[in-house]
Amino acid sequence: MDLPTLQHALVSLELDGWLLYDFQGQNPTALQALGLTGRMLTRRWFYLIPARGEPRLLVHAVEIGSFPAEVPGVRASYASRQSFRTELERLVSDLPPSRRVAMEYCPLATIPALSRVDAGTVELVRSLGAEVVSSGDLVQRFLCRWDRHQLASHVRAARAIDAAKDAAFEQIALAHRRGIEPTEHGIQRFLSQRFEEAGLVADHPPIVAVNAHAGDPHYEPSEAKPTPIRPGDLVLIDLWAKGKGPRDTYADITWVGFCGKQPPAKLHALFRIVAEARDLGVQVLERAWRDGRVLQGWEVDRAVRDQIAAHGYGDRFIHRLGHSIGSSVHGDGANLDDLETHDTRPLVQGLAFSIEPGIYLPEEGLGVRSEIDVVLTEEGPRVFTPAQHELVLAA
């Protein structure tokens, strides 16, 4: 992070500082902010970025060497619980009298992705005379907006996973032409191999879901209980991956296919509703950009959700419209969400997120979702993941 720019933002937000805290990796936001992901840190540490002056680090004596030299500021250590309390009091007392600090905290945990610091630690900081407010605006502004390298890595990943998806549907069709029934897990393994060949990594294997399994948004194929993919089946493939660079970003897509040449009328109708709702989400973003309006995350979700509800499937769209995307597939930026949360964070330039409406009818052996990724560039909303406009016919 650019320290002068960050400190200027703190002043503009009437904050005395940003107080980063972590214990045993519970706050990945703080680790990302200081480039500490993967380092061996097992004790509590605090890092205060003041609105004015030099940052200050408080860390256990056995782990002070775990902080790289590139992390600027004055360093203090503790060993006992008494010295921990003394040094933390000193750190907070150096703030201006208002002592208004941002932490990874959200009032009433209304947005869980912002609630990384445990309640006891927030109580401790408050007991020292500080006012604790949410760091949500800072996190989004300084950790979630993509630069050119991250955008380019997303585009590369998008092309690679799109090609892998096409190959997977062709693999299913080829197997059926040969009289073979592939399995969900087998196609999942095929996709993972394609990722490896393309130099991609993912935090979890892709989803390959047949019929009623597609009605479970987080279904996991099982090697122990393999499910065959037969002619006449619906197949949903959800796949996400990124390059291996430390700052590379994810691409995340979902496509739906039918193993045959004539999909059932209801499957076709559900797909049309979902695809049109997905496109509406993009249109809402484009209109706002043309009008110079900055939307909040919940507004896009609400527009799309209302359209699906108008078709009678509002209660079958059971998750948020989209999630933030970054170096983690579920990033810390604004989500498109007016269901699970009411996300009021602004959709500002540099953010990226998915748009993925779905309708789930597992009791009828149906589940349809269509997912694309949107990047808010200086030229407006851009989609680098191809949008599905017709069911894939894997025949």
Instruction: Please say whether the beta carbons of 153 and 247 come within 8 A.
Output: yes
Superfamily of chain region 150-393: Creatinase/methionine aminopeptidase superfamily (3.90.230.10)
Q: Across residues 113-139, what is the average pLDDT?
A: 96
Using 50, 70 and 90 to split pLDDT, how confident is the model at 383?
very high
Q: Across residues 42-61, what is the average pLDDT?
A: 97
pLDDT digits (tens, 9 = 90+) for 251-267: 999 999 999 999 999 99
Q: Among 55-59, 108-112, 212-216, 276-280, which stretch is predicted with the lowest mean pLDDT?
A: 108-112
Using 50, 70 and 90 to split pLDDT, how confident is the model at 38?
confident
Give me the percent of the chain exceeding a pLDDT of 70: 100
CATH class of the domain whose range is 3-143: alpha beta
pTM flag (> 0.85): yes
For residue 66, what pLDDT is reported? Answer: 87
Q: Across residues 198-221, what is the average pLDDT?
A: 97
pLDDT at residue 1 tops 80: no
For residue 4, what pLDDT is reported? Answer: 95
Average pLDDT of the chain, as a whole number: 96
Q: Across residues 336-344, what is the average pLDDT?
A: 97
* CA gap 172, 181 in Å, rounded: 8
Using 50, 70 and 90 to split pLDDT, how confident is the model at 306?
very high
Sign of the alpha-carbon dihedral angle for 89, 78, 29, 4? positive
pLDDT at residue 299 tops 90: yes
pLDDT at residue 392 tops 80: yes
pLDDT at residue 39 tops 90: no
Q: Would you kindly state where each structural domain of the chain is located, as residue ranges?
A: 3-143, 150-393
For residue 171, what pLDDT is reported? Answer: 98
For residue 270, what pLDDT is reported? Answer: 98
For residue 40, what pLDDT is reported? Answer: 87
pLDDT at residue 120 tops 90: yes
